[in-house]
Structure 1
Amino acid sequence: MKSSIAVIADPDTVTGFKLGGIKSGYPVENMEEAETTLKEVFKGDFSIIITTEKIGDELRKTIERLTKASALPMIIEVPDKTGPSERKTDPIGELIKRVIGVEMVK
């Protein structure tokens, strides 16, 4: 059963999550490295993969392709050290809609 959490992000964000108790951290320096790491980690024994909004926005097609067939692992996007980014869509809202079939409205 999947029960672990992994973080794929810039080194500073990974360090912050490790200080918070997350054991599996994968610091990446560029989008190519982030995509390769995401694909590898997605095959692992994780229930949640945390990444930054910046990585999520750049790798949206890859994330959608990976998560299309299964609800786990969930990929959750958080702001990086520069703060939240302006977004056209809400990935968390889309995840909730896909998993439970209900659209969250504000």
Structure 2
Amino acid sequence: MKSSIAVVADADTVTGFKLGGIKEGYVVESTQEAEETLTTLIKEKTAIIIITEKIGEELREVIEKFTKSSALPMIIEIPDKSGPSDRATDPMRELIKRVIGVEMVK
């Protein structure tokens, strides 16, 4: 296992996380590159993978394939520099429900 936390995102997001102390950051510029990087990180048993919502939407099927079968890796989607996306469901709420088995209510 290389690292327990990695970021897969645009250059600005990766730079911000590296300034915050995350050592593993991967700048991706295409959907194919993002999918290859995500798959590699999962195979290397990275525990937490942080991606942008944009990448999450592009790779929804790939992410669900890995997250439905086990609790790790934990793939966390965050807004990029353009702000949060409008979504029907809250990915953090779904993540909490999947990990601890309880739905959080407002």
Give the TM-score taking structure 1 as reference length: 0.92
Displacement of 1:87 in angstroms is: 0.9
Would the aligned equivalents of 1:47 and 1:74 in 2 still touch at CA under 8 Å? Answer: yes
Tell me how far apart the structure 2 counterparts of residues 79 and 102 of structure 1 sit (CA, whole Å).
Answer: 24
Tell me how far apart the structure 1 counterparts of residues 60 and 93 of structure 2 sit (CA, whole Å).
Answer: 14
Report the counterpart of residue 81 of structure 2 in structure 1: 81
Would the aligned equivalents of 1:2 and 1:47 in 2 still touch at CA under 8 Å? Answer: no
Matched, 1:97 2:97: yes
Q: What residue identity is the alignment partner of 2:10? A: D
Matched, 1:68 2:68: yes
Q: What residue identity is the alignment partner of 1:74? A: M
Report the counterpart of residue 59 of structure 1 in structure 2: 59
Aligned residue for 2:7, secondary structure, equals strand
Displacement of 1:2 in angstroms is: 8.8
Report the counterpart of residue 25 of structure 2 in structure 1: 25
Would the aligned equivalents of 1:8 and 1:27 in 2 still touch at CA under 8 Å? Answer: yes
Displacement of 1:55 in angstroms is: 0.7
Task: Give 5+ residue unaligned stretches, structure 1.
Answer: none
Task: Give 5+ residue unaligned stretches, structure 2.
Answer: none
Tell me how far apart the structure 2 counterparts of residues 24 and 80 of structure 1 sit (CA, whole Å).
Answer: 18
Runs of 4+ in structure 1 over 4 Å off: none
Give the TM-score taking structure 2 as reference length: 0.92
Aligned residue for 1:50, secondary structure, equals strand
In the alignment of these two chains, the number of paired residues is 106
CA-atom RMSD, angstroms? 1.6
